[in-house]
Amino acid sequence: MILELKNIYKNYQQGKMEVPVLKDVNFSMEEGEYVAIMGPSGSGKTTLMNIIGCLDKSTSGTFLLDGQDVNKCTENEMSDIRLRKIGFVFQSFHLLPKQSAIENVMMPLNYAGVPKKKRREIAFAALERVGLADRVDFRPNQLSGGQMQRVAIARAIVNSPKILLADEPTGALDSKSSVQVMDLFQKLNDEGVTVLMITHDSEIADYAKRAVLIRDGVLSEKEVSARE
């Protein structure tokens, strides 16, 4: 099991009020799985992703990532886990605008202390993997939305993470680019990358092999439509 959440609750403090957002979430993934989390806006998808991504802790419950009990980790241990084990992809790409594609992809390697020449080689290979070997020196504003997201995906996989987390990865893309990004996730998953993707679009969710549904902070398995 790559990750396991047991009886996870998350409340946000809103002034004097505790606002419950996640309610007794139980969820797990095997290594190599490809899962979509679906749900309407405000249902708690990003909150859940932040917990799984070790960006935030739950209020109660147990979360094991790769066997490690994350609620017992310090801030430093959590940032170490993020660096070594998790790749993030966001709706709005989060690329550094003044850096070229390859410099963006090299960024996690800088933090990991990889020597400079090696960084370039590894980042180039990651850009090749997402089909952008011919765009390494382009800055984000010289790329299309779909290409920017592929750079972001290259950056997310450059450290060979245990799991790729994507929060609405096609939310800012046209349908053609969305299909390209989904084809890429498919390819990476076929190559063994574990993928967890948030979406509120059921056509996008259909690319995953399993889908779960979150409604008002309550998570349930979704019946998979006949697509095999």
Does residue number 44 form part of the binding site for ligand ADP (CB under 6 A)? Answer: yes
Minimum Å distance from CB 194 to Mg ion?
A: 20
Residue nearer to ligand ADP on the CB measure, 46 or 194: 46
The residue from 5, 8, 21, 188 that contacts ligand ADP (CB under 6 A) is 21
Quick one: which segment of 38-46, 70-78, 92-100, 182-190 binds ligand ADP (CB under 6 A)?
A: 38-46
Cα separation, 76 vs 56, whole angstroms:
12
Distance between CA 80 and CA 84 in Å, rounded?
Answer: 6
Residue 51 partner contact from ligand ADP, Mg ion, none using kind-dependent CB cut-offs of 5 to 8 Å: none
Which CB sits closer to ligand ADP, 44 or 108? 44
Applying CB under 6 A, the span of 41-49, 64-72, 109-117, 219-227 interacting with ligand ADP comes to 41-49
- Rounded to a whole number of angstroms, the minimum distance from the CB of residue 46 to Mg ion is 3
Residue nearest to Mg ion (CB): 46
DSSP 173: S
3-state secondary structure of 9: strand
Decide: 185 and 165 in contact? Cβ < 8 Å. Answer: no
Give the containing element (helix H, strand E) for 116. helix 116-129
Run of H or E residues at 187 = helix 175-190
Contact flag: residue 43 with Mg ion (CB under 5 A): no
Give the shortest CB-166-to-ligand ADP separation in angstroms. Answer: 13
- Cβ distance 98 to 139 under 8 Å? yes
Q: Is 47 in the site for ligand ADP (CB under 6 A)?
A: yes
Take residue 62 and report the two structure tokens written for it. Answer: 């147990």
DSSP notation for 14-62: ETTEEEEEEEEEEEEE-TT-EEEEE--TTSSHHHHHHHHTTSS--SEEE
Q: How far is the CB of 52 from ligand ADP (least distance, A)?
A: 12
Question: Shortest approach of ligand ADP to residue 44 CB, angstroms?
Answer: 4
109 contacts: CB under 8 Å, gap ≥ 6: 118, 119, 122, 123, 158, 159
Q: Looking at 12-20, 95-103, 124-132, 178-186, which segment touches ligand ADP (CB under 6 A)?
A: 12-20
Residues that bind ligand ADP (CB under 6 A): 12, 14, 19, 21, 39, 41-47
> Which residues lie near Mg ion (CB under 5 A)?
45-46
